[in-house]
């Protein structure tokens, strides 16, 4: 028989399948889990503690998928596949993904460190193959920042960014830059600008206006 803690976590996860964490009330969670309101505070301290626990469960699923990604003899190709699997997870789990990568409050999911460690191993394979142009630490940070940025923009503005061509263009620009595998493609410059803009938008330091977003996404479409 499941415990009250397990039922609360399961109920929160089920509600996150259809709505944002901020839109889920503790009453709805308790009703679904069939527990009294005080049980959330006994088990998790407060709602934020509960959401952090749910985010950690989400990271466990995310990292399990990462570990199942097959490795080949081409570490750069593997890095691109890892990028694509990251985007696929985000699109399948939009509200959970937001909770995982845009946490609020002081409590942060600790599993982000393991996600960084897995990515670091992937870029270290590129280094060991002689295909890395910067330190593995910097390369990993650049790839993860751009990957999360693409996912967040696709979830927030699907009419502009959900096209896989946008993700692929930014992926190729960023991974090409860190590995030296740039290709002659007129979209690379636009993809690099977009990658920088995504980071600025997420941090609030340099948000793009809608017209600029439209111009960039049009530039990233594959040639007709």
Give ∠ CA 63-69-73 in degrees, rounded to 5. Answer: 135
- 184 phi, psi to nearest 5 deg: -70, 105
Mean pLDDT across 137-161? 92
Q: Band of the pLDDT at 221, cuts 50, 70, 90?
A: low
Report the C-alpha gap between 6 and 207 in whole angstroms. 40
Residues 6+ apart with CB under 8 A from 51: 12, 21, 99, 103
pLDDT score for 167: 94
Model confidence at 161: pLDDT above 60: yes
Q: Band of the pLDDT at 109, cuts 50, 70, 90?
A: confident
Report the C-alpha gap between 220 and 207 in whole angstroms. 19
Mean pLDDT across 98-113? 80
pLDDT score for 201: 57
Model confidence at 199: pLDDT above 70: no
Give ∠ CA 158-163-165 in degrees, rounded to 5. Answer: 145
Model confidence at 193: pLDDT above 70: no
- Give the lowest-confidence range in 38-52, 96-110, 119-133: 96-110
Q: What would you report as the CA-atom Rg of the chain, rounded to the nearest whole angstrom? A: 19
Model confidence at 203: pLDDT above 70: no
Q: Band of the pLDDT at 184, cuts 50, 70, 90?
A: very low
Model confidence at 79: pLDDT above 90: yes
Which of the two residues, 214 and 189, has the higher pLDDT score? 214
Q: Whole-number mean pLDDT of the chain? A: 85
Model confidence at 120: pLDDT above 50: yes
pLDDT score for 196: 56
């Amino acid at each position: 028989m499941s415990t009250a803690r397990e039922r609360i976590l399961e109920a929160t996860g089920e509600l996150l399948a259809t709505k944002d964490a901020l839109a889920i009330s503790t009453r709805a969670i308790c009703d679904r889990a069939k527990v009294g309101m005080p049980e959330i505070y006994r088990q998790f301290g407060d709602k934020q503690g509960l959401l952090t626990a749910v985010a950690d469960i989400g990271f466990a699923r995310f990292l399990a998928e990462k570990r199942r990604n097959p490795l080949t003899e081409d570490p750069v190709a593997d890095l691109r596949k890892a990028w694509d699997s990251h985007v696929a997870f985000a699109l399948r789990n939009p509200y959970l993904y937001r909770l995982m990568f845009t946490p609020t409050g002081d409590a942060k999911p600790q599993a982000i460190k393991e996600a960084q460690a897995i990515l670091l191993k992937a870029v270290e394979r590129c280094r060991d193959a002689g295909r890395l142009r910067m330190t593995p630490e910097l390369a990993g940070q650049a790839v993860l920042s751009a990957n999360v940025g693409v996912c967040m923009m696709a979830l927030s503005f699907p009419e502009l960014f959900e096209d896989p061509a946008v993700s692929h263009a930014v992926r190729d620009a960023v991974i090409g830059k860190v590995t030296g595998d740039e290709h002659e493609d007129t979209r690379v410059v636009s993809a690099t600008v977009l990658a920088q803009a995504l980071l600025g938008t997420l941090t609030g330091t340099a948000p793009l206006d809608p017209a600029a977003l439209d111009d960039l996404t049009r530039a990233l479409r594959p040639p007709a």
